[in-house]
Structure 1
Amino acid sequence: MRFRAPHLGTQMACAVHERVWDVSQEMRIPAGRTSPCQPCAGRSFPGRQALMPLRFKSRSALLWLTISLSACREDVPPAPVVPPIEDPREEQSVPYVSIDGMDNASGFLRGTIQGQGDIRAVEVHVDGVLLGWAEVNGDQWSIQWLPGAAMHSIEVVAHDGSGTPARASLALQPLDFATPHALYQPPSLLTLPTSESATTRYTLDGSTPTAHSPIYTSPLVLMRSQGEPTPLSLIPTNPPETPVEWRWLPPRGPVSRAAVVRFQQFQDATPVGASGTRSYLIDKSHGPLPVMSLTVDAEHFFGFEHGIYVPGRIHAEDPMPDVMWGNGNYHQSGKDWERPLHVEWFEVEGQPVISQGAGVRIHGSGSAALPHKSLRLYAKEDYGPKTFRAAVFPGEALDEYTRLIVRTSGQDLLYSKIRDCALQGLLRETALHLQACRPTVLYLNGEYWGLHELRERYDEYYLASRHGIDRKKVAILELDGMLDTGEEGDESHYLALLDFVRNNDLSLPENLAHVESMMDVDDFIDYQIAEIFFANTDWPHNNVKFWRYVQPESGGAAAKDGRWRWLVYDLDNAFLGDPGYDSLARVMTDEALPEWSVLLIRQLMTNADFKNRFVSRFQWHLDNTFSEERVTAQLESLADLIAAEIPAHIERWGYPESVESWRYYVDAMRDFATQRPTYVRQHLEVSFGPF
């Protein structure tokens, strides 16, 4: 907090003389002198009795006192005032002082002082009572302070050689850890729980409190600190040989911080009693965006041996230079690469929605090598509650999730940052399975970690909660029939479907009927139309998943009928490039695509009924789902939602390259949406004739 002082000309402030007078009581003053100086003689100093004896610790403060007293001596003529030589090219500096931060562990309040002349001194007041004179080193000041729970305000008054004072003040509100908290707070004094039978220890860097952590003895000062280190943001998250287009970059400026407080009570070295984790944003807001705060022992993310966010040991042992994405700790998967952390999620106004322990893994394959990585959160009894119980996605009926993704937009983090979220959102009115999406700001151990998307994750828990089915009876396959989730042998049903399609004439109604008994053909048509309209170049040979209920039940919910249905995801390479690109012809004729990826659509097109259903449904989507007005409105809505956050995100990560480049990519998507329907109508006519 920085305040510029009013200019007082050559008048010496009597408030300064008042302080000098009280300090002079400990020094030798000529007998009979009743006032610190003649100009102030007869003035009343009502606050003098409340002032504490002072000890000057800095040479600059002593020099200030000496000159001030010398100026008051009747037998010493005042020094002539020599106006400074001003450089006409530069504006003359104005003194100012700031309160920058509080080191709660060591008990030091600190700030900055700048001004004219060599003499600098800072007096610090708490609730109107002089605490003391700060130690000044260069342009930094500090003072030891143990705040009391009932205090309300701090004021500092700084002086330079010109005699012009500068002031800064800070009001502090009481904040109790034991009461429900909101994310957004003004500067505060935080009280932690204590016990007569245990010692409360705490940390402010995200680490788990240990028997060696600082002991809590007085309320913690939480303020919007300036100049505090953000060490995690300086750790490279991919190796130096990474292609320059997506190599890790250091932050372009200071990284903002949230206050993250963790405490644990101990008896000797044994954790006992209460513990907790809380995050606060002091004098800062993220407008229309919710906020997630993740608190974790830094070693779990950034340690060489086991850190999941860095190249680490895996890269050192085998960098795999011939593979596009290389190799690193962040490419490892499975339970062995899951780490514990604490999750907090706050709604737009700052009210807490989730606060619990959970597990975390890196999410994604190739995109894990990008500097900014997606995370997968696991609610488990090992860490806390079994689910994330919160309605985090407006408009969704669900209010309980077992797994969540905190996604960085995949490869689109280099470009628009809204692509997958926006395109999936266009399909909400279909029966397709989609991932709810919500742009969210993330803090990691209090350090600003930029824009993310809170997403649902496709897995057996997702399908069970969506359809009210037994998750243990769900099979999820990917690509050519590889088992992703389920029991060995669950893939045989799909492989039998492919075998039937290869060896039977699907133009015959009875054969189409058999295929429809094994897969939801209407679902498949919507899925194919969406991917083709979006011109997804990372499909159909990649990013393909589908599922079925392995123990069909007749007469029940449709999801239990045992037919295969498809999952739309990872549209990071869609809506890019030429809006006239004929993705329909690619799917129908490109011989470079693997046979398994186009077998179903090409064989089904030999059936006249299926072809008519496909073309008719595509026309409906062009008129409704993919109308220019609807698509551009969706893009603009998401872009407007995150626009205010984009500059801070770019300053933190360096991607997209600039605000202007981000706007360029968003505008390119808008142009694509405007032109795409006309081109696709032409593609349909070329492939299937007039309609």
Structure 2
Amino acid sequence: MRTFRYKSRSALLLLTVSLAACREDAPPASPIDVPREEQSAPFVSIDGMDNAAGFLRGTIQGQGDIKAVEVHVDGVLLGWAEVHGDEWSIPWRPGVGTRAIEVVGHDGAGVPARASLALQPLEFDTAHALYQPASLLTLPSSGSATTRYTLDGSTPRADSPVYSAPLVLLRSQGEPTPLSLIPTNPPETPVDWRWLPPRTPAGRAAVVRFQQFQEATPVGASGTRTYLIDASHGALPVMSLTVDAEHLFGFEHGIYVPGRTHAEDPRPDWIWGNGNYHQGGKDWERPLHVEWFEVDGQPVIAQGAGVRIHGSGSAALPHKSLRLYAKEDYGPKTFRAAVFPDQALDAYTRLIVRTSGQDLLFSKIRDCALQGLLRETSLHLQACRPTVLYLNGEYWGLHELRERYDEYYLASRHGIDRKKVAILELEGLLDTGEEGDEAHYLALLDFVRSNDLSLPENLAQVEAMMDVDDFIDYQVAELFFANGDWPQNNVKFWRYVAPEAQGPAATDGRWRWLLYDLDNAFLGDPGYDSLARVLTDESLPEWSVLLLRGLLTNADFKHRFVTRFQWHLDNTFREERVTAHLESLADLVAAEMPAHIERWGYPASVESWRYAVDAMRAFATQRPTHVRQHLEAAFGPF
């Protein structure tokens, strides 16, 4: 039978190849002339290298049950690989001078398939960029010490693999990503924001850590480097965090998981539940290594630091914000780099790697975009750069690199003594400073409660205690954005507690406001009357509306408030300006969104992400007209 004849010829070929594989120097079998309809050339690839075990691996696909792969290094036959199913592997430890690998695959079709790979020499000690082609990495070594290394992010220990040959760094194909499979909130979490496994295997960067040892004692050199092989993130910078996995994902003390805290007290009566990730303070700070790379892949930050979970309710979401601390405990006292091109600062004590808070479910750009609209005002704002994150080499998705509001932020912005800064929140709760620093603000509230602010002398007293112009800009922004999580929440303000009569404005001892967390703004109905809510809603806490309501009883303040609001509508919030700003930021992150969504499942799809961005654009188009009507309804024509 025809079918039997050609199957037999194919089997004969494969038998010849298999017998040849028994001799390392044997050439592959010659192709046999198989009719075109029976031919299907095999496919072969080089997929990865197990550096610790010393195995090169790949895949082969083709006809028949028996396949063969020959491997050549720098033009010399290394040998014939072991083939199991569609996978092949071969023992190999490269030499320092290795530059090229070629594999040739054979199957019953008789037509060989080839794959080749050039290796670039790379030395750990030389300045490096994130983006590299397939490389052969040489680690520092010493005749008096043993160099040990890890590739999973863990700190090298006395039982870690010994460095005995250069490490082969290839593009990630089928590499395990165990951290991406760890649930980061409990299974009873509401389905709308429950942890989801990656839809496809997460990408990987190569993270190499090494340490020299004398027996079991660490000595001499150590280091951590990240390389992204044959891949790029286009217009976005990249941050790589390297940490012992137990610090983030361990049941007892891991800060990224529900852990023991949830097991002992799930708190089902609170929507956000409870977990290790809701714990704060120094006891819940963990050491790690931080690398940050500019868009072209050049390294900007590479140092040890501390990390905590950032946020309150949003910490229960699957994808969490992180707060980074530069401290002498870990390395340099600052992150010394101009990471935000639109400001002159080049040193930061703390940085936030933010996930967009609750907006991670929707647009991913809301707070970053809305704060960015206010850059030309004198308001305090958090600089923002969309940034791709890798955690122990695993792709961790799209984040925002942000400044953090604290005493270091204010000191660096104004050149003031951070120890003389008081930051309060909500009704006057002390966030930063010394006990008693809240008394000045509480006295301000008492003054407003007990005095007629329509009188010029009383307004003057208030102006002596708070920056009224700053307060107006702050109120205008929150009202225009229709922030539903304000004014009863997300309120912070600060003052310099040792006023200087001849010093800069920031040292005058008056209260100024810190705008933040706009994740619940620019949502829903663009006609929503947020002004009427703040002026008339009796369900709002008294402290949250006391200042604005009291000040608006003064004709001069009312005129300043409405005039400034109208100026912002004509300029800051002009439709064309806002939509152009939104589109620019959305365009910047658009190429990254498919990979981010595959990794986290939030937003639900690229289409739903675009819908959320389009809704913000529509809000920006319609909002100014509605707000003008709200102003006229509240204050009459001006």
**Range class of TM-score, shorter chain:** over 0.9
Matched residues in 1 for 2:477 and 2:247: separation? 39
Matched residues in 2 for 1:246 and 1:566: separation? 31
Give 1:459 shift: 0.1
Structure 1: which amino acid aligns with 2:430? L
Structure 1: which amino acid aligns with 2:553? T
Give 1:240 shift: 0.2
Matched, 1:102 2:49: yes
Q: Which residue of 1 aligns with 2:144?
A: 197
Output one character per residue of 1:459-484: Cα deviation in whole Å (capped at 9) or x when no partner: 00000000000000000000000000
CA RMSD of aligned residues (A): 2.1
2:377 to 411, 426, 430: 430
Matched residues in 2 for 1:157 and 1:521: separation? 76
Matched residues in 2 for 1:475 and 1:430: separation? 23
Secondary structure of residue in 2 paired with 1:662? helix
Q: Which residue of 1 aligns with 2:100?
A: 153
The 3 A distance-change label for structure 1 pair 155 and 17 is: farther
Q: Which residue of 2 aligns with 1:524?
A: 471
Output one character per residue of 1:14-67: Cα deviation in whole Å (capped at 9) or x when no partner: x9999999889x7xxxxxxxxxxxxxxxxxxxxxxxxx647xxxxxxxxx98xx
Contact 2:41 2:110 in 1 (8 A): no
Q: Which residue of 2 aligns with 1:228?
A: 175
Matched, 1:396 2:343: yes
Q: Which residue of 1 aligns with 2:80?
A: 133
1:441 to 378, 384, 388: 388
Matched, 1:577 2:521: no
Secondary structure of residue in 1 paired with 2:164? coil
Give 1:11 shift: 12
Give 1:119 shift: 2.5
> Equivalences for 1:6-405 in 2 at 5 Å?
53=25, 94-405=41-352
Contact 2:327 2:334 in 1 (8 A): yes
Matched residues in 2 for 1:486 and 1:17: separation? 80
Secondary structure of residue in 1 paired with 2:493? strand
Name structure 2 gaps, 5 residues minimum.
1-7
Secondary structure of residue in 1 paired with 2:142? coil
Give 1:151 shift: 1.1
Output one character per residue of 1:386-422: Cα deviation in whole Å (capped at 9) or x when no partner: 0000000011010000000000000000000000000
The 3 A distance-change label for structure 1 pair 22 and 592 is: closer
Matched, 1:496 2:443: yes
Secondary structure of residue in 2 paired with 1:263? strand
Matched residues in 1 for 2:19 and 2:354: separation? 62
Matched residues in 1 for 2:19 and 2:631: separation? 92
Structure 1: which amino acid aligns with 2:611? Y
Secondary structure of residue in 2 paired with 1:401? coil
Give 1:383 shift: 0.1
1:590 to 530, 537, 553: 537
Contact 1:102 1:225 in 2 (8 A): no
Output one character per residue of 1:300-351: Cα deviation in whole Å (capped at 9) or x when no partner: 0000000000000000000000001000000000000000000000000000
Structure 1: which amino acid aligns with 2:505? A
Structure 2: which amino acid aligns with 1:675? Q
Output one character per residue of 1:569-597: Cα deviation in whole Å (capped at 9) or x when no partner: 00000000000000000010000100000
Give 1:548 shift: 0.2
Structure 1: which amino acid aligns with 2:346? D
2:601 to 641, 654, 670: 654
Output one character per residue of 1:340-374: Cα deviation in whole Å (capped at 9) or x when no partner: 00000000000000000000000000000000000
The 3 A distance-change label for structure 1 pair 18 and 325 is: closer
Output one character per residue of 1:258-287: Cα deviation in whole Å (capped at 9) or x when no partner: 000000000000000000000000000000
Q: Which residue of 2 aligns with 1:35?
A: none
Matched residues in 2 for 1:625 and 1:569: separation? 18
Structure 2: which amino acid aligns with 1:139? D
Contact 1:627 1:677 in 2 (8 A): yes
2:404 to 434, 457, 462: 457
Matched residues in 2 for 1:649 and 1:21: separation? 48
Secondary structure of residue in 1 paired with 2:222? strand
Secondary structure of residue in 1 paired with 2:60? strand
Matched residues in 1 for 2:14 and 2:135: separation? 29
1:607 to 520, 545, 554: 554
Structure 2: which amino acid aligns with 1:668? A
1:548 to 483, 495, 506: 495
Structure 2: which amino acid aligns with 1:491? E
Q: Which residue of 2 aligns with 1:74?
A: none
TM-score, structure 1 as length reference: 0.89
Secondary structure of residue in 2 paired with 1:453? strand
Structure 1: which amino acid aligns with 2:526? P
Give 1:166 shift: 0.6
1:632 to 559, 562, 579: 579
Output one character per residue of 1:399-452: Cα deviation in whole Å (capped at 9) or x when no partner: 000000000000000000000000000001111000000000000000000000
Give 1:93 shift: 5.2
Give 1:225 shift: 2.5
Count of aligned pairs between the two proteins = 629
Matched residues in 2 for 1:391 and 1:194: separation? 34
Matched residues in 1 for 2:35 and 2:98: separation? 43
Matched residues in 2 for 1:356 and 1:81: separation? 60
* Higher alpha-carbon Rg: 1
Secondary structure of residue in 2 paired with 1:400? coil
Q: Which residue of 2 aligns with 1:484?
A: 431
Contact 2:387 2:398 in 1 (8 A): yes
2:459 to 499, 509, 512: 512
Matched residues in 2 for 1:121 and 1:324: separation? 58
Secondary structure of residue in 2 paired with 1:381? coil
Structure 2: which amino acid aligns with 1:452? H
Q: Which residue of 2 aligns with 1:39?
A: none
The 3 A distance-change label for structure 1 pair 507 and 290 is: same
Structure 1: which amino acid aligns with 2:434? E
Output one character per residue of 1:539-583: Cα deviation in whole Å (capped at 9) or x when no partner: 000000000000100011000000000000000000000000000
The 3 A distance-change label for structure 1 pair 671 and 20 is: closer
Matched residues in 1 for 2:291 and 2:384: separation? 17
Contact 2:41 2:112 in 1 (8 A): no
Q: Which residue of 2 aligns with 1:406?
A: 353
Structure 2: which amino acid aligns with 1:142? S
Matched, 1:474 2:421: yes
Matched residues in 1 for 2:43 and 2:555: separation? 81
Name structure 1 gaps, 5 residues minimum.
1-9, 27-51, 55-63, 72-77, 86-91
Q: Which residue of 2 aligns with 1:46?
A: none
Structure 2: which amino acid aligns with 1:321? P
Matched residues in 2 for 1:254 and 1:17: separation? 36
Matched residues in 2 for 1:177 and 1:594: separation? 58
Matched, 1:620 2:567: yes
Contact 2:25 2:77 in 1 (8 A): no
1:561 to 484, 487, 508: 508
Q: Which residue of 2 aligns with 1:48?
A: none
Q: Which residue of 2 aligns with 1:665?
A: 612
